[in-house]
Structure 1
Amino acid sequence: MMVQQGSTQLLCLTASSGVPLFTRGASKQLPFSVIGSLNGVHMFGGGQGVVLSCCETQGGGKVVWRVFQDSVMLIAVSGGGGGGGGAFSRKEMEKEEEEEVSLQRLLENVWSCMVLVLGQDELTNIRNVERLKRDLRSCFTLIDQLLEERQEGILGNLTHCADSLLPPNPTLLQVAVDGFAQAADSEFGCLVVHGRVAAATEKWWRLAPQEVVLLSALMRSLSASGSASCDYPIFLPKGSPTVAHRLLRFQLLPGADVCVLCGPTPSLHRAESGLVGRFWTPLVETLRDCLAIGERCLPGSVSLRPDVLALLLINRETRRSVSLVRTSTNQPLSDPPLPSKARCWELLKLFYIFSTTRYFTQEETLSVSPEERAQRGYNEDFVLGFTHQPIQCYLVTEECKCFGLQTPQHQLFLLMPLSVSTFALRTVATQTLSDIVAATGF
């Protein structure tokens, strides 16, 4: 086994010559000879007209390759054992396939992260390798966040839907975001609370879903740095990979930040001194109410059934999502023990991958080429066996029961205790979806 069990190491090399640019993740780095071998076997396959995208190691790990723009090669090496050893992931969920999908998504996100920070020209026209190595260091904080998944409940890296928080007073916050962005000569503004999007301008939602996800990740990284404000140059991986924009970000309260994408004006000082106070000081109590929601992500007007352990709700039209895990102390001792909070988040991710690689639609895959879709590792053979589009699926495991529901506008993924009758899963899911949409309009 090449890396420690349960860990993932990311390698970045030049595609043409195989020169290592950086390695991240896993405390014990792979030897240079192993890195050279991983690059060499991929190049050998390419010379024989074969695209090597994934393989499994003798020790149960995974290696995934991906070349971007014929310039940069990214390799993810997983030590396996990341599923917690439960029957859910190893037997019933076919863990190996889920891990491959996660690693492919990781490589996509890392490449887009590099473009976000450095721009595509810097990565596709490599003139000085040593200079590029130094420049890439500015991406490490964001890349490490993608690798380590530090914040529970942030699933956008996997779903490519913006992790959202639904505030109790959305209209007030929406008016403030729109007005603040307009005053800053921008059409792109966003309010982030607890690392999740609470309100954004219409043009912000028109950005590519992956861009919204990565900008949210960048906001979390900048907020964690402790700075009250910053002026950060960024490129949009899909919309503007070669022309930089300015990201102006301001901390309103601990845990609440607002940002805009703009051009040369306004200056950071003008926006901070003249605009932040004018638009956001009157809304301090509204922001505190929004912060009080915390990890629940839903306002108090939403009443969830007690048999819902965890949920992920995706709006397929806006590419937004809300997710939460509930911890209950009222379960009788005679029942099987509930999964821990961390395990519920893990199971929710696994069930999402299980459902979307076999039954449900991932809209973003419809616009990619067959070659790219094959590289991403989606299991099309299974889906092609259906004569119709599945709209519901369920899974009974040794830890919990799961139910997935797909409508033209939503996808809902639920975890429920084993004590819930299997025939009642659909009722719980449909009622949960109805309650959330009726109360929030999500």
Structure 2
Amino acid sequence: MMLQDGSTQLLCLTASSGVPLFTRGASKQQLPFSVIGSLNGVHMFGGGQGVALSCCETEGGGKVVWRVFRDSVMLIAVSAGGARSGAGGSKEREVRLQRLLENVWNCMVLVLGQDELANVRNVERLKRDLRSCFSLIDQLLEERQEGILGSLTHCADSLLPPNPALLQEAVDSFAQAADSEFGCLVVHGRIATATEKWWRLAPPEVVLLSALIRSLSASGSASCDYPVFLPQGSPTVAHRLLRFQLLPGADACVLCGPTPSLHGAETGPVGRFWSPLVETLRDCLAVGERCLPGSVSLRPDVLALLLINRETRRSVSCVRTSTCHSHGESPPLSKARCWELLKLFYIFSTSRYFNQEETSCVSPEERAQRCNTEDFALGFPHQPQQCYLVTEECKSFGLQTPQHQLFLLILPSVPTFALRTVTTQTLSDILAGTGF
């Protein structure tokens, strides 16, 4: 049976002196200062002996990972023990925690800029400034919205609308009218369409901008003007993120410079390009969490899927829980458990068999950090293209092609020999219906 993670606490300290900057986590019981000091001390001791301490496991099954960024800020993630194990659960947890630390650092750069973090001049002021990152960091820690997997996959969570051509023309024209080449339409927290330059941003930047847009949308404001730094494209010079609510659940956004003003864009381009498309936007909203248009029909034995376009670094995902089961069978899985199993199978597959192709957008220190972990795939004389996993709760199958990766959760009643057929048919049906 696959692992179900326990609670996670995140610690942030100055790398040189170990002064705590903040602690975040869902657990009400915070780690005592003595434990925080010990975690920092053992890392510093290892560094003094020429040892790079990146991860350890406690006797109770907990996991601790360390990461120092720009020789200035140390992030420590502590995951509680007692979780259900299996399928290499310890490795899955380490992958998630390492990815969490990368995302949190990029989140801090997105909001504050790299200069303020790399050159800490006033610790107390930095503590105050970091509070503006807490809503985003909590979103990463708590994974509040089911089906949002970008923080794990570093692919843009997408929704495939029924009328993509109309929306693409609107977002291109809207961005141009706002003196920008970077624009997108976000529906239910997922990108429905975006300009070509938006897709050219580094995948972690697209993921974090989407998270920020969700956070701003949840604030209830109809529009906002928010300064952001791009962690890889522009870590020291801020841009403006303009967000406009078109309908509840649908937001148009652009990244721009000093012009236009928020009011000017709201009274001009927003109404001109989006008002004629209200019904098209409603059709897009109707797609909902399924993320696929009604023209795509899925097999009834498919519980959940995650489809990644390896070239564009976009993904679509959905869960379809079973409502009935035969006498003697286990009760159907909840939606939350399906999402958890889908994430765990993704980590299981990509950490052992499939490639995570992010070399163009990963810093040298991050690439070196990943090389420190055991690479299970090195034992193969070839690149695996398929993998599967059978558990008590479901059967899972992963398929990799030159352009796509597809991960499925399938009812346990489906024969194991039929898993490949179900997966290839599902991929063919989605591509035929959407061109994704």
Q: If the TM-score is normalised by the length of the shorter chain, which range does it land in?
A: over 0.9
Quick one: which amino acid aligns to residue 51 of structure 1? A
In structure 2, do the counterparts of structure 1 residues 377 and 153 end up closer, same or farther at CA, with 3 Å as the change threshold? farther
CA distance in 2, matches of 1:410, 1:264: 39
**Which residue of 96, 99, 123 corresponds with 1:105?**
99
Aligned position for 1:409: 403
**Which residue of 243, 251, 257 corresponds with 1:249?**
243
Contact map agreement 1:233 1:246 (CA 8 A) in 2: yes
- 1:121-200 alignment, distance < 5 Å: 121-200=115-194
Q: SS of the counterpart of 1:102?
A: helix
Q: SS of the counterpart of 1:327?
A: coil
Aligned position for 1:7: 7
- 1:3-42 alignment, distance < 5 Å: 6-25=6-25, 26-42=27-43
CA distance in 2, matches of 1:379, 1:394: 23
CA distance in 1, matches of 2:196, 2:190: 17
Instruction: Quote the offset at 1:369 in angstroms.
Output: 7.5
CA distance in 1, matches of 2:72, 2:123: 12
- 1:3-402 alignment, distance < 5 Å: 6-25=6-25, 26-82=27-83, 85=84, 90-91=85-86, 93-365=87-359, 372-373=366-367, 375-376=369-370, 379-402=373-396
Q: SS of the counterpart of 2:330?
A: coil
Between 1:258-267 and 1:379-388, the stretch displaced more is 379-388
Quick one: which amino acid aligns to residue 14 of structure 1? T
Instruction: Quote the offset at 1:94 in angstroms.
Output: 1.4
1:151-201 Cα shifts (integer Å, max 9, x gaps): 000000000000000000001110000000000000000100000000000
Between 1:23-32 and 1:417-426, the stretch displaced more is 23-32
Instruction: Quote the offset at 1:338 in angstroms.
Output: 2.5
Unpaired segments of 5 or more residues in structure 1?
none
Cα RMSD for the two superposed structures: 1.4
Contact map agreement 2:11 2:24 (CA 8 A) in 1: yes
Task: Tell me the number of residue pairs that the alignment of Structure 1 and Structure 2 aligns.
Answer: 431
Scaled by the length of structure 2, the TM-score of the pair is 0.96
Between 1:149-158 and 1:364-373, the stretch displaced more is 364-373
CA distance in 2, matches of 1:371, 1:274: 45
Contact map agreement 1:177 1:200 (CA 8 A) in 2: yes
Instruction: Quote the offset at 1:59 in angstroms.
Output: 1.5
CA distance in 2, matches of 1:278, 1:37: 59
CA distance in 1, matches of 2:52, 2:395: 38
Scaled by the length of structure 1, the TM-score of the pair is 0.95
Between 1:298-307 and 1:361-370, the stretch displaced more is 361-370
Q: Does 1:422 align with 2:423?
A: no
Q: SS of the counterpart of 1:363?
A: coil
In structure 2, do the counterparts of structure 1 residues 217 and 81 end up closer, same or farther at CA, with 3 Å as the change threshold? farther
In structure 2, do the counterparts of structure 1 residues 368 and 284 end up closer, same or farther at CA, with 3 Å as the change threshold? closer
Instruction: Quote the offset at 1:27 in angstroms.
Output: 1.4
CA distance in 1, matches of 2:282, 2:361: 41
1:256-307 Cα shifts (integer Å, max 9, x gaps): 0010000000000000011111111111111111111111000000011111
Contact map agreement 1:232 1:248 (CA 8 A) in 2: yes
In structure 2, do the counterparts of structure 1 residues 264 and 368 end up closer, same or farther at CA, with 3 Å as the change threshold? closer
Contact map agreement 2:159 2:187 (CA 8 A) in 1: yes
Q: SS of the counterpart of 2:302?
A: coil
In structure 2, do the counterparts of structure 1 residues 393 and 370 end up closer, same or farther at CA, with 3 Å as the change threshold? farther
4+ runs deviating over 2 angstroms: 330-338, 365-381
Contact map agreement 2:160 2:292 (CA 8 A) in 1: yes
Contact map agreement 1:335 1:419 (CA 8 A) in 2: no
Contact map agreement 2:323 2:332 (CA 8 A) in 1: no
Q: SS of the counterpart of 2:297?
A: coil
Contact map agreement 1:358 1:379 (CA 8 A) in 2: no
Contact map agreement 1:250 1:257 (CA 8 A) in 2: yes
CA distance in 2, matches of 1:291, 1:224: 16
CA distance in 2, matches of 1:378, 1:299: 42
CA distance in 2, matches of 1:365, 1:28: 38
Instruction: Quote the offset at 1:366 in angstroms.
Output: 7.3
